[in-house]
Chain A
Amino acid sequence: MSDARFAVDGLGFGFGDVRILDDATFSLDAGTVTALVGPNGSGKTTILELLAGLRRPDAGTIERPAGDGRDVAYLPQSPAFRPWFTVAETIGFYESLSGVDDSPAALLSRVGLGDVGDRRVDSLSGGMTRLLGIAQALVGDPPVVLLDEPTSGLDPDVTDRIFEATASLADEGRVVVVASHDVAAVEEWADRVLLVAGGAVVADDAPAALLDRTDTDTLRGAFSALVRTERTVPAGGED
């Protein structure tokens, strides 16, 4: 899994005349948490769906590392599961779907849900449901994990728990991409930031490097400066 490499070349996608991404080329390395950030409506969810293979790009290619049965894990924004099942049954369903014959207990323990396996899914809090989603993402040991706003609407403690779990996925050698508006968490947990705006990847660097490049103290300031620059510099004129 440590050799896993995720390469995107000339990626383009739009909804009719509205371009989400044009000619984007980047690669994602195993063992790192990459934060996908951008203004509202910049298409972060759509880009994650493209990376997951849930949408077909208009142009370009995506080369994903192959897993043993499951190549990509995807956790949608505000995930939910069939409410009539317990937490353990839900993971059991996904394990069976993946051809895995393990007990769900081990995966649930990894994300801190070991004590709630018998609880119905609809009795979980929002944070616990996200953790269940992350447990689901671990099923089948996929080399790529894509999480869409996994901490939106959650308190800082739960946010930290979720990013801790996310970082551990990367530590095990996976490519991890997290779309997020939580700039503080991104600053603390992400190894790399992909900033998208206006259909382009505006910045692609480590958080500290972005601060240096924009001469700002916070990532929020850095993002504002970078997006502002993107809006004022004509296409192709940045260099």
Chain B
Amino acid sequence: MARRPLFVVVDRELRSLARNRTLLLVAGAFFAVVVGLGGASMGSPGGYVSLTLDLLTPIEVLVPTVAFAVTYQSIRGDAARGELDVIRTYPVSRTTYVAGVFLGRAAALLLLLVASLTVAGVLAASGASQPSSYFATHAAGDTPVAYGRFVALSGLYLVVVTAIAVAVSAVARSRRAALAAAVALLILLAVGLDLAVMTLFTADAVTGSALGTLVGFSPASAFRGLVFAAVVEPALATPPPAPTAGVFASVLGLATWLVGALGAAVAAVWRS
């Protein structure tokens, strides 16, 4: 029975990733680092919330890194080989093609992320024999469910940065341009946007009340804000003082990046 073009493209992406040794090495390194961080938390006081805080910053940086490494050549590679022109002669729309590439890459990355964080969580939990003595005061909030929320939010963050990486792959006109854009965007997403907002804040260009909204439009800050709102704050009597984005601004910011990136990818991949 003939399959829908979307699933055909998704299947091709998954098979490509499974057979690309370089990308498997990248995935293995990501898994090792995340699980290693989980292992480092074994026996430390705290629990799932402590582990979440341990993993938060590494995930902010590692997720875009692995997403860009795995994705920046996806559409660009098809274009460089001339396969994009060939694919265009088949009954598949550019929306379907981009969606297939995005879903295939995001699905593989999600599998990697969830597996890594799950193993890290199991490792940390197996060693956390003592409950927190000073950090987590609401024991009821420090549960696997809280950690599950962190995993889910990490997945959301990954989906957004994968969409941005797909857009880079569609927009770039050469491998070098794709690599340069990927590195530049990686720096921008991981630290650049936060730094820009903080620079505006310290220069009194934005008020403190506007800060929570503005940082929501940085994907890393939006992710951090959601993690604090959904995982850390419910579990702690006194959350650590951290300027985080508001929930609404974070959700809006991530949604804007997701839709904007996929829209840009569809517009750039080829003219209809």
Chain A positions within 8 Å of B, measured between CB atoms, are 49, 52-54, 56, 69-82, 84-85, 89, 93-94, 96-101, 133, 136, 139-140, 142
Contact = CB atoms under 8 A, between A and B. Distances in A.
Find the residue from A49, A81, A85, A93 having the highest chain B CB count within 10 A: A93
Contacts of B11: 96
Given A75-B86, A93-B12, 18 more contacts: A52-B85, A52-B88, A53-B88, A54-B85, A76-B86, A79-B83, A79-B86, A82-B77, A82-B83, A84-B16, A85-B15, A96-B3, A96-B5, A97-B5, A99-B91, A133-B86, A136-B86, A140-B90
A86 to B, nearest CB: 10
B176 interface: no
B1 A101 contact: yes
Contacts of A93: 8, 12
Interface string B1-44: 11101001101100110011000000000000000000000000
A53 B85 CA distance: 10
Interface in B50-100: 77-78, 81-83, 85-92
Q: How large is the interface on B (under 10, 10 to 19, 20 to 34, 35 or more residues)?
A: 20 to 34
Nearest to B19: A84
B13 to A, nearest CB: 10
B138 to A, nearest CB: 49
Nearest to B13: A82
A98 B91 contact: yes
A99 B3 CA distance: 7
B12 A74 contact: no
A97 B83 contact: no
Contact of A97 (B77, B81, B87): B87
Given A96-B2, A97-B5, A76 B85 contact: yes
Nearest to A72: B89
Contact of B15 (A72, A78, A84, A139): A84
B91 A70 contact: yes
Nearest to B21: A84
A84 B20 contact: yes
Residue among A53, A97, A100 with the highest chain B CB neighbour number at 10 A = A97
B2 A101 contact: yes
Contacts of A142: 89
B271 A56 contact: yes
Contact of B91 (A69, A78, A85, A101): A69
Contact of A70 (B83, B85, B89, B271): B89
A82 B81 contact: yes
B43 to A, nearest CB: 42
B82 A79 contact: yes
A70 B89 CA distance: 7
A84 B3 CA distance: 21
Contacts of B271: 56
B8 A96 contact: yes
Contacts of A71: 89
A3 B147 CA distance: 65
A99 B88 CA distance: 14
Nearest to B100: A97
Nearest to B2: A99
Nearest to B5: A97
A142 B90 CA distance: 10
A85 B13 CA distance: 11
A77 B81 CA distance: 10
Given A69-B91, A80-B81, A74 B8 contact: no
A78 B20 contact: no
